[in-house]
Amino acid sequence: MNNIILITGATSGFGEAAAHKFAQNKWDIIITGRRNDRLQKLETTLQEKYNVDVLSLNFDVKELEEVKSAVASLNEKWKNIDVLLNNAGLGAGRGPIQEGVYDDWEQMIDTNVKGLLYMLREVSPLMIARKKGHIINVSSLAGWEVYGGGNVYCATKHAVRAISRSARIDMVHHNIKVSVISPGAAETEFSLVRFKWDTKKAGAMYEGYQPLKAEDVAESIYFMATQPAHVNIEEMLIQPTAQANATITYKGN
Ligand code: NDP
Ligand code: 8X3
């Protein structure tokens, strides 16, 4: 039987690239996200290209009842999740705290923190029952550092690392690995979403240097997921070569 990975936020960026990487290596894949048209398209592509089993679950991680019923809908095969890639997340806006937009704050906290927790809460008992599993949570360089205007986004990504380290202590008794990957600047739809599809503002984030590609991050996630049973990579911080930290990026000057 193939290994199984459940990827939240597989309709774009890291999640979509990870779905390709794992499927290419003969994992069966559960893909999730809110944009059902993209999920359906990806399901067909993965099945046809890699000849693996794919299950699409169309739900919003912010909605607890949707998360519960999506996980409860898994049949005996799909319950055997080897890896949960808790990836769904977003930056919504960027600006000083005194000008903060409440709806953006709620969205980031509800998605990046509460949504990740809901998935962790619903999926970890399935792993505990099998006495094996691996939870890989996606934080960010913004989970290590802060930058002006990053306030709530940075807070959510710091929270992902705190939750992960604490969950690791709970899960160690059940033979379950918990890891965190923290990418720096990567060109996905992240900045388009953050800047409300303003292509100029989003594009400016990646001008003058080579950012990470979604595939670079997927490669690292695959490496984390395929270590021997006795090895757990707790944390991985991956940045573009040109980026030294959250505020210093070399652009040839
Ligand atoms: P993308 O915008 O390309 O992908 C985000 C994915 O998350 C989409 O598939 C989206 O699917 C899904 N998603 C967002 N909100 C929800 C929700 N409420 N319910 C279900 N799915 C949701 O960005 P990235 O691939 O770059 O981002 C993936 C993760 O990586 C995020 O957690 C982000 O914070 C983090 N990150 C990104 C970095 C970057 O520079 N790009 C760097 C470090 C971390 P849909 O809209 O269909 O629901
Ligand atoms: C996204 C990367 O540096 O813009 O997590 O916060 S950053």
From the number of C-beta atoms within 10 Å of its C-beta (0-12, 13-18, 19+), residue 146 rates as middle
Smallest Cα–Cα separation from 239: which of 140, 138, 156, 91?
Answer: 140
- pLDDT tens digit sequence for 71-86: 999 999 999 999 999 9
- pLDDT tens digit sequence for 67-123: 999 999 999 999 999 999 999 999 999 999 999 999 999 999 999 999 999 999 999
Q: Which residue's CA is minimally distant from atom 12 of ligand 1?
A: 9
Sign of CA dihedral 60, 118, 189, 84: negative
- pLDDT tens digit sequence for 125-156: 999 999 999 999 999 999 999 999 999 999 99
Measuring from each residue's beta carbon to the nearest atom of ligand 1, which residues come in under 6 Å? 8-15, 33-35, 60-62, 87-90, 111, 115, 138, 140, 183, 185-186, 188-190, 193
How far, in Å, from the CA of 141 to the mean position of ligand 2?
6
Q: Which domains does the chain have, with CATH numbers?
A: 4-238 (3.40.50.720)
- pLDDT for position 253: 65
Measuring from each residue's beta carbon to the nearest atom of ligand 2, which residues come in under 6 Å? 140-142, 150, 184-185, 190, 246
Ligand 1 atom nearest to 157, measured from its CA: 34
- pLDDT tens digit sequence for 142-194: 999 999 999 999 999 999 999 999 999 999 999 999 999 999 999 999 999 99
Strands 83-86 and 54-58, how do they pair?
unpaired
- pLDDT tens digit sequence for 47-61: 999 999 999 999 999
CA dihedral angle for residue 42, residue 45, residue 48, residue 49, rounded to 10 degrees: -120
